[in-house]
Amino acid sequence: MEEKNKEQEEVQDEVKSDSAEEQSAEQVEEQTEQDAQDAQDESEEQKEEESAPTTPYEFGNEQNMIFEEFAMRLGFVGKLAIFTGIVGFIHSSISLYYQNILNGVASFLLMGVLCMYIGVCHLKASRSFLNIVTTEGDDISFAMKAVNNLRLYYRAFYGITVAGIIATAAYTAYVIINHL
């Protein structure tokens, strides 16, 4: 009988140990799942914090006065450039109609197009700088729009200047070679 009791005790111990191992494995698995879920939640919270908009920046009154003055001057230059472009178009049209001079027409037509481009870039930048002064909450985005418009103008100006220097050098070399 003792042997039966011992066997039953051993079987019960095995069942208990299997049961404890199963519980332990289940607990470990549950803990692992919980840790994974917590890590995922923390990751999502970090992403939300990183993508959350930052507090909008507002320039002070002194900076706004500077932006306003600059915007007014940019606007004036833009309007003057557009006016000059229109005059260039009118001059090229009159020259073509009355004098049939294509050389003069091409130069004034090109001048008109360039002046119009300069005027439009300056007016867009002027509006963006004025928006910095007149609105709240988007100063940085308006400043970036203004700088981008000026960047486009100066990129074109740089290209035209380089092309003009190359054309002048080529024409000068042509004249020198043909007169020697």
Domain shared by 27 and 112, yes or no: no
Cα gap 63→84, rounded to integer Å: 31
- Among 37, 53, 69, which residue terminates a domain? 53
> What percentage of residues in the chain have a pLDDT greater than 90?
23
Give the model's pLDDT for residue 52. 42
Predicted confidence at residue 77, as pLDDT, reads: 93
Residue 55 has pLDDT above 90, yes or no: no
Query: Do 111 and 48 belong to one domain?
Result: no
3-class secondary structure, 68: helix
User: pLDDT value at position 73?
Assistant: 94
21 and 89, same structural domain?
no
- Looking at the fold, whether 74 and 130 belong to one and the same domain comes out as yes
On whether the CB atoms of residues 138 and 131 are closer than 8 A, the answer is yes
Are 47 and 94 in a shared domain?
no
- Residues 136, 58: Cα–Cα separation, whole Å: 7
What residues contact 66, with CB distance under 8 A and at least 6 apart? none
pTM of the predicted model over 0.75: no
Dist CA 128 CA 71 (whole Å) = 8
**15 and 82 together in one domain:** no
| Shared domain check, 107 and 42 | no
Q: Is the dihedral of CA 151, 154, 156, 162 positive or negative?
A: negative
Final residue before a domain boundary, out of 35, 53, 71? 53
Q: Which of 16, 35, 53 is the last residue of a domain?
A: 53
Q: Is the confidence at residue 172, as pLDDT, over 50?
A: yes
Give me the percent of the chain exceeding a pLDDT of 70. 66
Same domain assignment for residues 167 and 137: yes
- Residue-wise pLDDT for 93-148, tens only, equals 787 777 766 666 677 778 888 889 889 989 999 999 999 999 888 888 888 989 98
Domains: count for the chain: 2
Provide the residue range defining the domain that includes 44. 1-53
151 and 170 in a single domain? The answer is: yes
Sequence-distant (6+) residues with CB within 8 A of 119 are 77, 78, 79, 80, 81, 82, 83, 84, 85
Confidence of residue 70 (pLDDT cuts 50, 70, 90): very high
Q: Do 113 and 32 have their domain in common?
A: no
